[in-house]
Structure 1
Amino acid sequence: MEKTIGDSPAFTSRQKIIIAILALLQFTVILDFMVISPLGDILMKTMNMTTANFGFAVSAYAFSAGISGLMAAGFADKFDRKKLLIFFYTGFIIGTVFCALSTSYTMLLMARIVTGLFGGVIGSVSLAIVTDLFVIHQRGRVMGFIQMAFATSQILGIPVGLYFANNWGWHSAFIMITVLGVLILIGIITQMEPIIKHLEVQSDKSPFLHLWHTLSNKRYQVGFASIAFLSVGGFMLQPFGSAFLVNNIHISQLELPMVFFFTGLSVLFIMPLVGKLSDKISKFKLFAAGSILSIIMILIYTNLNPIPLWEIVVINMILFMGIMSRMIPATTLNTAIPGLEDRGAYMSISSSLQQIAGGIAAVCAGFIVHQKTKTSPIENYDILGYVIAVITLCTVFLIWRVNQLVKSKDTEAKEVTI
């Protein structure tokens, strides 16, 4: 039985191990996706890619992840979550190996599709595990720690990946992720217990019927829409971030790791704070505040002219503080919507729609921005900022709807227990 509102139980030793494993897992998955952005300028120049080509390379992962997530959704609550995690993480590692071996744009595109087919399901399985093993008043802190994987990938992963790329070629960045992935996979196999409690409450025998019942649930549809919109801004802004910094702001390839390092450092400090706040104050108010800060900083960032390195670092730090302040409360609220019997399917569908929406956003961004030559400034980046600002406002409304649904669910649960 879950604790009462306002009570935040301490973590057990076993729970701490699970949090560490999931955080490290997310670190590699996030790094695999995010390292494409700082490598973007190198990849576009070495493989003769246009901005539209690069948009497709980014979105290939997202589309395949979304499709695989939908296909897996009906089966997500039918198996031990540990076994699902091992299966999909193994496939993700294999896909990353193919990325490292790519020698052309077409090969890289295919490798990103394979990686997405497996990597896209990992996040939803992880969220289902969090929801199964932690009560609602622990999840904010859990998500805070797991989302620190984003910051750690910025502080350690991306700078090290860029260092590898600058010294041994861009392929070496994916080799680094592969080695880390194998070590984490061993940790999952040896340290995580089977997670099968959800198997006791299954009602739909057919996986496809289970998928349909989850998709057709009116409450769930609000959550699906909110999470899909939440990902659009990041997918639009990040893919061309390094190309914008190099060609518009005149930051050198050697200075890029500094930008990502200090940005990630700021996020590393803000994540635990946001996680704790989301367990103590209104998650929606925290999300709304983060959204306002994000809109302001995105409009400033996308309209920048050449400025000193320290100024771009400060702007990036504040921007990502706003972005991360949205992710934790929104994700935590979303985990409270589904019932135990639907959690795996719900998280899979949410992740799929998030990836598909993000893939569409990356393709759209590739057509909105333009670069005349390999060294020309990125054009129309300011228009991208205005589009993201409008989408962010729409997301605030959708998360408000989710918040209302969670409140009504809590009220119904209390009435049942009385």
Structure 2
Amino acid sequence: MSDIQLERKVVWLAALIQLANVLDFMIILPLGPDLTTSIGIPSSRMGLLGGIYTFAAAISAIVMAPYLDRFDRKRAVLFFLAGLAVSTYLCSFAYDTYSMLAARTLAGIFGGPVTALSLSMVVDVVPISRRARSIAIVSSAFTVSSVFGIPFALKLAGLMDWTMPFIVIGIFSGIVCIAIYFLLPSMTGHIDENTDKTKKVPILPMVKKPIIRTSYIMASLQSFAQFMLFAGSINYFIFNLGFDREGLDEIYFVGGSLSFIAMMLTGRIVDKYGSRLLSFIITVFYVCVLADGYLHQPFMSVPFIFCSFMLCAAMIGVVTSSIASEAPDEQERAAYMSVQSTCRHLAAGAGGIVATAILSTNPDGSLNNIHILAYLTILCIASLPVLIFMLRNMLDRKSLA
């Protein structure tokens, strides 16, 4: 098998892994009303059901980080993805809040390392010259899930019952496992047979490296900022700006479709021209959208604000992910990605907590203090080009050493 054929196979299998993982992560909140009416889970507990997966994934990823690089990538990803498939299927047997919490916790335990392993597979086989567009393909799982996966799952729940989305996602994850078993070759190139170093990657010495710390700060700031503002955005658009709720499906579809196209283009641009100038251009547009959309009565329409928000978030995500993938050494990639996954999950959870603490709701459903979240988000987003510039300089020095 040629290197190009192997790259394509690994990239698309990694994208399917991410799609299964993202669908499992995202489906719980849209199903909230069905879970409330069918098995009596209070609406006030929906945030807990979403958050328990995030924190379980974060803890699992950090616990497994020292060990993932000692195993064949194929065997490791099969184990954790099969666990995710089974735990997602078990969600369909939940009968109250606590049984669902247990199933979601189990899913998070398996889901955390899966993210790290799928990205490590891509970094292992794709050279830097083509890596950004490959990461864009893998990262597009979130967009595909938003545009097609979640609406389809909700349609299934409406036609049958709330258990069907969990059953179908579990089956889909199982099918991806079968595809990996038959199509993915053994991946042990990251293992140094002459030493014992990969039996347990020391996490603390790795995190102490300035290049690693910088990449983690960059990833954490991005996740924190985006989840913090997005937590209240839909209610803000509907109750503060008067957007028709019936139009949400359309703007999700348009925004997701545009984001998918933009991610593919961003990957190619980064591969060809680098990340410094592009990150600055994206950030300027991003800040302008946030400033007009959230700091006063906007001049732009709600669909334009929402789609631009999704577009900028997707594009800056490709830039940061591609440059961060160059930070670890070969023998510590899965450990690095696992800790990065932990940082992203914890930052996203922290963003949600901050949003909950700052926002307040009026009797008519409108939100107060959304502008404070916008200022914090703008501050975080504006710092990303600086961190990207610093990280690029560190990587250049590393390559010359």
Of 207-216 and 389-398, deviating more is: 207-216
- Of 307, 312, 315, the residue aligned with 2:302 is 312
Map of 1:267-282 to 2, 5 A cutoff? 267-282=259-274
For residues 266-415 of structure 1, the aligned pairs below 5 Å read 266-302=258-294, 311-371=301-361, 376-412=365-401
- Deviation digits for residues 321-380 of structure 1 (CA, Å, limit 9, x no counterpart): 11111111111111111111111211111111111122222222222223467x723443
| Structure 2 Cα separation of the partners of residues 272 and 393 of structure 1 | 23
Give me the whole-angstrom Cα distance separating, in 1, the residues matched to 2:360 and 2:311.
28
Structure 2 partner of 1:238: 230
Structure 2 residue runs of 5 or longer lacking an equivalent are: none
Aligned match of 1:138: 130
Alpha-carbon distance in 2 for matches of 1:206, 1:407: 26
Deviation at 1:274, TM superposition (A): 0.6
The 2-side partners of 1:34 and 1:239 are apart by 13
CA distance in 2, matches of 1:306, 1:39: 31
- Distance in 1 (alpha carbons) for counterparts of 2:298 and 2:221: 31
Say if 2:198 and 2:331, in contact at 8 Å, map to a contact too. no
2: CA distance, partners of 1:202 / 1:113: 38
Letter in 2 for 1:65: A
Per the alignment, residue 91 of structure 1 pairs with 83
**Aligned partners of 2:357, 2:97: CA distance in 1, in Å?**
18
How far the C-alpha of 1:202 sits from its partner, in A, is: 7.1
Quote the offset at 1:78 in angstroms.
0.3
- Say whether the 8 Å CA contact 2:124–2:330 is kept in structure 1: yes
TM-score, normalised to structure 1's length?
A: 0.85
Q: Offset of 1:297 from its aligned partner?
A: 2.1
Quick one: distance in 2 between partners of 1:306 and 1:49?
Answer: 31
Q: Percent identity?
A: 24
- Whether contact under 8 Å (1:222, 1:398) holds in the other structure is yes
Rate the CA distance shift 1:248–1:356 in 2: closer, same or farther, 3 A: same
Map 1:204-215 → 2, pairs under 5 A: 204-205=196-197, 210-215=202-207
Which stretch of the first structure deviates more once superposed, 104-113 or 186-195? 104-113
Question: Deviation of residue 228 (structure 1)?
Answer: 1.7
> Is the Cα contact below 8 Å between 1:82 and 1:194 reproduced in 2?
yes
Alignment of 1:43-122 (within 5 A): 47-50=41-44, 53-122=45-114
1:109/1:332 CA distance change after superposition, 3 Å: same
- Indicate the residue corresponding to 2:150 in structure 1: 158
Cα distance in 1, alignment partners of residues 248 and 263 from structure 2: 23
Q: 1:127 to 1:367 in 2, by over 3 A?
A: same
**TM-score, with length taken from structure 2:** 0.88
Deviation at 1:133, TM superposition (A): 0.4
**Equivalent-residue separation in structure 1 for 2:161 and 2:71 (angstroms):** 40
C-alpha distance in 1 between matches for 2:272 and 2:198: 40
SS in 1 for 2:191: helix
Pair 63,234 (structure 1): closer, same or farther in 2 beyond 3 Å = same
Structure 1 residues 103, 288: CA separation in 2 closer, same or farther (over 3 Å shift)? farther
Deviation per residue, 1:214-259 (Å, 9 max, x gap): 2333332222222222211232233444444554455566543222
**Residue 384 of structure 1: CA displacement?**
2.1
Query: Which residue of 1 is the match for residue 186 of structure 2?
Result: 194
One-letter amino acid of the structure 2 residue matched with residue 329 of structure 1: V
Seen in structure 2, the aligned counterparts of structure 1 residues 331 and 306 have a Cα distance that, compared at 3 Å, is closer
Superposed counterparts of 1:209-224, under 5 Å: 210-224=202-216
